[in-house]
Homo-oligomer: A and B are copies of this chain.
Amino acid sequence: MLTTTFAALADPTRLAIVTRLSRGEATMGELATPHAISPPAITKHVHVLVDAGLVTRRKVGRTVVCAIRPEALSEVEVWLGDLTTYWNRTVDRLADLLEGNGDGE
């Protein structure tokens, strides 16, 4: 669901995690470092991202390696694309009206 994706990205810590992971894989510890936040909090945040389908996790020894799942963001791209199409159409129609040739539809 698109709202789940947006909700996952609506938290600064999680947005930073996703941005960090877009530059390459990282362990939970590496994700936690820049955030002055407790391990349980990072676990929770990553869990939200996994549930939203934005991130994958795999165990490697005693660490957990996280990676981004770009496919989940393509849903956002599609939605944005649709919206752009619609409002461009609106702008075109408005431009037509302003030019006086009111046959926009």
Which residues of A, 51-86, contact B by the 8 Å Cβ criterion? 68, 70, 73, 76-77, 80, 82-84, 86
Q: What B residues does A82 contact at CB under 8 A?
A: 22
- Copies of this chain in the oligomer: 2
Q: What B residues does A3 contact at CB under 8 A?
A: 9-12, 15
Q: Interface size of A by Cβ–Cβ distance < 8 Å?
A: 26
Q: What B residues does A23 contact at CB under 8 A?
A: 86, 90
Q: 13 A-B Cβ contacts within 8 A? A: A6-B6, A6-B7, A6-B9, A7-B10, A19-B83, A22-B82, A22-B86, A23-B86, A68-B87, A70-B83, A70-B87, A73-B84, A80-B80
Known A80-B76, A80-B77: A87·B22 in contact at CB below 8 Å: yes
